[in-house]
Amino acid sequence: MADNSKPFSTGDFLPLSDADRSHLDSEKITAPSQTFLQDSWRRLRHNKAAMICLVILIILFILSFGSHFFQTHNPNATNPDLANLPPKIPGLDINGFNGTLMQSGERINAYAQAHAHAGTYYILGTDYLGRDLFSRILFGTRISLTIALVASFFDLAFGVVYGIISGWLGGWVDTLMQRIIEIILSIPNLVVMVLLIVVLKPGMSAIIIAIAITSWINMARLVRAQTLELKNQEFILAARTLGESSFKIAFKHLLPNLSSVIIINLMFTIPTAIFFEAFLSYIGIGVSAPQASLGTLISDGQKNFQFLPYQMWYPAIVLSIIMIAFNILGDGLRDAFDPKSNRK
């Protein structure tokens, strides 16, 4: 049979139409190549609520830890002659911020009545001992954020390591380690704190030890569960086949894949630890006088709430802002690290 086929020539190809060109262009990969962390940061930046909370937390960190350099009053200095003064901001003539109070149905200048020197002002007023409330709130915020850093440290140093070891080794080691966790979980945090006060005096030391004993448990259990799932994945089995040590596999392969879980859980652990410290200080077994804590400030302000509500409102607002900011940021990080999220 004769071969009737002939070679193609350039004239045999028809030019592409505009519709075909548009279809081919739509299938091109136009987005730049990004790592997982870069893509997560892009997702987080598009979450306006989470970014606003991140900025708020950064400002609070700067104000609280930098208050040594710009505070106008000593947070523990007492001045009974200037007790219970209302907030006063120079140049701002708005009731509630101009140093006036309602007394017997009449608005009076509380600073003039207390015979305060000219130029004396307190941005958020003073408490029942004449201490500057603004400086004390900054000091209390510093304690709350310090507790956040302490909880983060124990979550990372103990919770992550404990969870990886338990999940990686498995067997009787995993069983024993989980029984230890269950024993610790069976003891309420408040009981742990009361037992520590019997040995130590109330204060930051007792709170830090209580957090060190109990705060890392949830992180350890979550990391263990993820490790059990990851250790049977192909890339882990390949690394073990190539003879890599367990230590190298943990830091080179497991931790990068656990990073999203760790960060998200950390953001939800921090507000729990902050509330734990504030609650203990509120009931009188946390930070002791004359040191200021948001919990002690709320407790002191509650006593004069009927007549001087600002003494309780301001520390309560700051504590609420910290708690809400960490929770919303944690929610934003959860969406950012979830590849299945619909956020762009």
Every domain of the chain and the residues it spans: 43-77+131-337
The band of 54, judged by pLDDT with boundaries at 50, 70 and 90, is very high
| Rounded distance between C-alpha atoms, residue 38 and residue 176, angstroms | 39
Q: Is the pLDDT of residue 51 over 90?
A: yes
Q: Quick one: DSSP state of residue 17?
A: P
The listed range with the strongest mean pLDDT (113-122, 147-156, 224-233, 320-329) is 320-329
Asked if residue 84 lies in contact with residue 128, where contact means CB atoms within 8 angstroms, the answer is yes
Q: Which CATH architecture has domain 43-77+131-337?
A: Orthogonal Bundle (1.10)
What are 100's strand-pairing partners? 109
Share of the chain above pLDDT 90, in %: 9
Q: Is the pLDDT of residue 56 over 90?
A: yes
pTM for the predicted model, two decimal places: 0.80
Q: What is the crossing angle of helices 255-282 and 294-303, to 10°?
A: 30
Name residue, tokens 């006036």.
Answer: 100
- For residues 16 and 301, the model is more confident at 301
Q: What is the CB neighbour count within 10 angstroms for residue 244?
A: 15
Please tell me the predicted confidence (pLDDT) of residue 276: 85
Please tell me the predicted confidence (pLDDT) of residue 204: 80
The band of 53, judged by pLDDT with boundaries at 50, 70 and 90, is very high
Please tell me the predicted confidence (pLDDT) of residue 305: 82
Please tell me the predicted confidence (pLDDT) of residue 18: 59
Please tell me the predicted confidence (pLDDT) of residue 30: 53
Instruction: State mean pLDDT over 254-258.
Output: 81
Please tell me the predicted confidence (pLDDT) of residue 318: 92
Mean pLDDT of the chain: 81
| Cβ burial, residue 9 (10 Å; 0-12/13-18/19+) | exposed
The band of 55, judged by pLDDT with boundaries at 50, 70 and 90, is very high
| Single-letter amino acid code for the residue at 32 | P
The band of 86, judged by pLDDT with boundaries at 50, 70 and 90, is confident
Name residue, tokens 């710009």.
Answer: 70
